[in-house]
Amino acid sequence: MIKLIIFDFSGVCYTEEEKPYLHIFADKHKLKFEEIEPFFNELIVKSERDEISGKEVWNRVMKEFKIKEKYGAERIIKEMVDIKEEKKDMLELARTLGKRYKTAFFTNYNRDFWLEVEKRFNPAKYFDYGIVSYQIISRKPEPKGFLGILEHFKVKPEEAVFTDDSLKNVLKAKELGINAIHFKGKDEFVKELKKLGVNV
């Protein structure tokens, strides 16, 4: 019997902001997206494990590409998060499911980015609990966060459902014995939940 439903954050309940903003940033500074993206992504992975800060990510990007900004990394992070939006249909579904089941989110973020996201969206309105990668020094698809959420609710893997738009994260959840659904849209997600006996 399902007791817990775990949601990915960006791409499932909220829109993505990092890649879209990187396009905007590259265009603004006449850079090639294909050059800036791999450099940015390597730093982001480190920051999501709390090895460097979110501000340091942008400071290093500006230094590497010789960008002189009138304002610093803090303003850039705010600009980036400002283009992120709620997926209201999914958040309402999470709220509805939360009346019958425990709900959680699991996401990869660094501290600086997450504090801005949390301030803008207050996800606690929709979920009982959440884990952000920097808090545990481990990011999806590593197992630590999945296991931490299961432990928090004292549920077995087979009593939980996890959804993510990233297939590698879904496959890792399945390896751990969690019922995992590759997210492709709300309607398909609801169908898959019903197959698992979830009362939607």
Give 92's contacts (C-beta < 8 A, 6+ positions apart).
none
Percentage of the chain beyond pLDDT 70 is: 100
How would residue 97 be classed by pLDDT, with cut points 50, 70 and 90?
A: very high
Tell me, what amino acid is at 38? P
71 — pLDDT class (breaks 50, 70, 90): confident
Residue 138 is predicted with a pLDDT of 98
Strand pairing partners for 125? Answer: none
Joined together, the tokens standing for residue 123 give 């996800």
pLDDT at 132 over 80: yes
Q: What mean pLDDT value characterizes the chain?
A: 97
Rounded to the nearest 10 degrees, what angle do helices 54-64 and 33-48 cross at? Answer: 150
* pLDDT tens string 154-163: 999 999 999 9
Q: Which amino acid is at 93?
A: L
CA angle 44, 64, 22 (to 5 degrees): 50
Q: Tell me which H or E stretch contains 179.
A: strand 179-182
List all residues 6 or more positions away from 188 whose beta carbon is below 8 Å from its beta carbon.
none
Residue 143 confidence (pLDDT):
98
What pLDDT, on the 0 to 100 scale, is given for residue 69? 73
What are the backbone angles phi and psi of residue 182, rounded to the nearest 5°?
-75, 115
Q: Per-residue pLDDT for 70 more than 80?
A: no
pLDDT exceeds 90 at position 54: yes
